[in-house]
Structure 1
């Protein structure tokens, strides 16, 4: 069965072509009258993420002299407290970092691996044709804490204890739960009730999620953070936290061993890029899906999208067909490069895009698009971005995958474990097949854009399969249609579902097109005429944060997702 995960909000769908969002009772002044808020401007440093308390924690670190790396860790640690369904130290992270001193981009893959003691035979013996999306069988080793230390050790100037100080205090004293987060929390109550430690950690009186504005405390998470602050990553991978997770796994039919944790490592990788209309767009190579955004951009570049019109039927159709082509390749070729030689360079080449573009029909929606042959002869998440006073730039994404991950809090650690292991395929011939000590395919991807060799835009869009689609739409809005960083995120989005996925699930015909209310009725009718299955939908379109670096003025321009609780803050 095809897996479709909406990680950043519940998707509500209606067949009505004229469904519209409530309109504000006023019109903003200024050039962008439909913008949700003004672009945040600052000269020295800036943080943008999905919760104001987390953004403020990062800003405080910047003001105290910390680097973008230090502030990113502080921001992420706070998000683990205030947005626990989306992220936390039970999950993984990825980073693209611009170091202004060396004038170089660095990539960090801090994703974890499957247990040594698990295999495809494990699931065959249990009579399972796919890996469950919750419970201990979906676990892989969390890479977050190791990633924090790698990032801090290479680019930080503060201690891990300083980075975690604000998050520890907030976990102990509590925080008022915000609106969007409260909704996501409430939707997970039934699954959290299946696990006693999850119930004790996240549900009030063992029964309900905290209400909007209710103060929530997590003393067990504060204890885990304090152990990491005092002992470093060893507390997580060799000390009390690892031991508690492994003991829980052994009691509940899991396959973790202490060796799985002790042997965990992060990997510094070279970011990869394509040029789109003079801008170099950077992503990380697989096991993530970042190169899907580059493939889509290569397919779209030959078309004059500005002439076709923003969110017109013609522009949306081209976007959808490019997405299908890229995601067909994603389903086949994206996996752990330590286990297979992957054709990454070929997939993101302009030559390969020209070959794949021959399959794109401008008048008809494609059905069941096959993967290409790139070896030519000639999934809940948080995203944050930080820029510091020295113009070091950090594009940072972190997740436990589904809302509350595997739904399992192992003992008294205060956090849920991710369920990334469910993205392995059980097909013996699939590149992303489950094997011991292997990284699964990942949906979470940070991005950065450079212009003339300098950082121009540091951004990301959280939300499972929406992420690569969101990366492309934000850039089209800015580069092709001239929208500023806030308006680019406010604009109505498109999401296509139903492509084949890296677990081996097949494609679903032409898939389903979800549109927000800002897309015109005329565009909806024209897309249906081309054969697209179109619905107006609420929610599920991801969560965007971005910082544009205006080198000429020496100003940072920040934006945050109006579909979330977040904030961009600067000084």
Structure 2
């Protein structure tokens, strides 16, 4: 049976390696622009053609996607990895908003919540995307804000809205009608049978256009006064975070019950960071710090380095089982140890990313069955420290001695939410942006927040973030991610950059909440272990684990609790693999597409060209030249 299974795996890999992709590979020698919306990819192409570099193009795509709603808007957050060809270093930009004044555990618990709410003004952190975009332009871009925002401003003046976004407005109109400024923008046909725009209708956003124009005018006036490019960009920044835009944003938020103050906006700033990195078989994998779930991918790679994955065969039962177990271990650590690195307590990241810690975790993987009781490990000895949370873990229901785990932790079972609701929370929101140019600049972005149905703050046209829901109110769930004013929630947003021989190898990002680093891990292994071209790797069948705490959706613990052993597989999974996984204790579900949607760029140094991949999962689109 084992030899037969291995033969099936080899046949599957062979078919996968030769099968035609549903979308063509993108090729370019000058630049590559890929994102979640065709019109936004066009904005990136326009920016490249007007002389911008990859950072300028990424900012233009970011502005355009924010103007198109659906998966994000201007009041959300932006997470960025940039390869700087001048320094040959990868840098990270943290443009995640913070919890506002008054956002305490006591406040939310007094309203009956187990987590902060998922919609409305109380779900909002401070806006991060405008500040993150301007920071990128100041330090790494070449164009003015006026040029970069030109496509988004044209769209705000009126563009043919995509059916997906228009239908989201119609589906969410019951919530939208609770917020007067959202109702004004999203429901132009109030009182008719269909109150939202139709697909293809010209969608006009006068308030947003005015807000973007105010920022551009601030830049323009500063330049007229002889200010430098940086000073002019900062004038636009200050008008958003300290000037009349901020005043209207705060007024509109408070009118609808929000907590954000002028001081909250003025105090917030984007942060440039050094990313986290691990080396996997000679390839350097870079992720954002533990304020995201990015280190999950790094931890999983460290664990999987202890196995011969290629010999197992692509998506064989043994391969699926091994990767699933590694992901579960990494997510268990994420759920308990990740949080804002700029707030105490300090997360044990040195231990979590230790190769020796990974070997210890890898040794716990059983070859014959799923471990429904896997919990956080103990990384502190790998930092030569004692774990201060041993008693908290025991209270949560975890026994640190894995040989004694013969029960399911009390927090981690008993999810009674409907399957459709659960999967919506698992995949919710976000888009991805990939850009590269012949000078060597590479940008990978996973922006999000303010998705439909969004609460708009006053007459700004700015949809507020919903990222507060990623905090916890119970330290037994995660002592590092308890809500507090001025603190960043631990988010799912997670771009990736990979270097090989000191040069860019792959750039990739994906939307999809808690599935992001699951899909990105498998995408990377598809290329690094199984030699798939980048487009094929974006379309290849992945699998998802539900054995983790959801980061989004619901206000009760039962809405987010893990589902041990649940696995989402591609419908083409063979009956042999299905049967073997069932014997290992897995609860199987299936979908037609389980690949992403992943957007990625591969760097062909032999020919000096860029190869773009954009999966067949959604509306994602790329343009190369």
TM-score (norm 1): 0.90
Map 1:206-285; keep pairs closer than 5 Å. 206=190, 207-231=194-218, 232-285=236-289
SS at match of 2:380: coil
1:337 aligns with 2:341: yes
1:53 aligns with 2:39: yes
- Quick one: distance in 2 between partners of 1:545 and 1:103? 23
Could you tell me which residue of structure 2 aligns to residue 196 of structure 1? 180
Could you tell me which residue of structure 1 aligns to residue 539 of structure 2? 490
- Quick one: distance in 2 between partners of 1:218 and 1:249? 19
- Quick one: distance in 2 between partners of 1:463 and 1:373? 28
1:214 deviation in Å?
3.2
1:440 aligns with 2:489: yes
- Quick one: distance in 2 between partners of 1:541 and 1:159? 37
**Higher mean Cα deviation, 495-504 or 51-60?**
495-504
- Quick one: distance in 2 between partners of 1:344 and 1:97? 22
1:561 aligns with 2:609: no
Indicate if the aligned counterparts of 1:174 and 1:218 stay in contact, CA closer than 8 A. no
- Quick one: distance in 2 between partners of 1:356 and 1:186? 47
Indicate if the aligned counterparts of 2:546 and 2:563 stay in contact, CA closer than 8 A. no
Indicate if the aligned counterparts of 1:177 and 1:216 stay in contact, CA closer than 8 A. no
Indicate if the aligned counterparts of 2:16 and 2:540 stay in contact, CA closer than 8 A. no
Map 1:57-76; keep pairs closer than 5 Å. 57-76=43-62
Equivalences, count: 539
SS at match of 2:431: strand
Counting helix residues as a fraction of each chain, which structure ranks higher? 2
Could you tell me which residue of structure 2 aligns to residue 87 of structure 1? 72
**Higher Rg of the two aligned structures:** 2
**Higher mean Cα deviation, 551-560 or 300-309?**
300-309
Indicate if the aligned counterparts of 2:475 and 2:482 stay in contact, CA closer than 8 A. yes
5+ unaligned residues in a row in structure 1: which ranges? 1-28
Indicate if the aligned counterparts of 1:280 and 1:450 stay in contact, CA closer than 8 A. yes
Q: Deviations over 1:21-53 (max 9, x none)?
A: xxxxxxxx9974331122111101110111121
Could you tell me which residue of structure 1 aligns to residue 135 of structure 2? 150
- Quick one: distance in 1 between partners of 2:18 and 2:156? 39
Q: Measured at CA, do residues 282 and 116 of structure 1 come closer, stay the same or move farther in structure 2, by a change above 3 Å?
A: same
- Quick one: distance in 2 between partners of 1:273 and 1:330? 16
Q: Deviations over 1:221-249 (max 9, x none)?
A: 22222122222122221122221221122
Could you tell me which residue of structure 2 aligns to residue 414 of structure 1? 461
**Higher mean Cα deviation, 536-545 or 462-471?**
536-545
Indicate if the aligned counterparts of 1:176 and 1:214 stay in contact, CA closer than 8 A. yes
- Quick one: distance in 1 between partners of 2:90 and 2:64? 26
SS at match of 1:493: coil
SS at match of 1:154: helix
5+ unaligned residues in a row in structure 2: which ranges? 1-14, 219-235, 385-427
SS at match of 2:505: strand
The partner residue of 1:427 within 462, 465, 474 is 474
- Quick one: distance in 1 between partners of 2:165 and 2:310? 36
1:294 aligns with 2:295: no
Q: Measured at CA, do residues 348 and 135 of structure 1 come closer, stay the same or move farther in structure 2, by a change above 3 Å?
A: same
Map 1:114-153; keep pairs closer than 5 Å. 114-153=99-138
Q: Deviations over 1:273-315 (max 9, x none)?
A: 1122221111011111100011111111222222212111111
Could you tell me which residue of structure 1 aligns to residue 361 of structure 2? 356
- Quick one: distance in 1 between partners of 2:329 and 2:579? 23
- Quick one: distance in 1 between partners of 2:551 and 2:158? 42
Could you tell me which residue of structure 1 aligns to residue 158 of structure 2? 173
Indicate if the aligned counterparts of 1:456 and 1:549 stay in contact, CA closer than 8 A. yes
Q: Measured at CA, do residues 540 and 136 of structure 1 come closer, stay the same or move farther in structure 2, by a change above 3 Å?
A: farther
Could you tell me which residue of structure 2 aligns to residue 499 of structure 1? 548
1:385 aligns with 2:372: no
The partner residue of 1:547 within 585, 597, 601 is 601
Q: Deviations over 1:478-524 (max 9, x none)?
A: 11111111000111121111413569958535142112223223222
The partner residue of 1:404 within 424, 427, 452 is 452
SS at match of 1:381: coil
Could you tell me which residue of structure 2 aligns to residue 455 of structure 1? 504
Indicate if the aligned counterparts of 2:538 and 2:595 stay in contact, CA closer than 8 A. no
1:185 deviation in Å?
4.5
Indicate if the aligned counterparts of 1:495 and 1:541 stay in contact, CA closer than 8 A. no
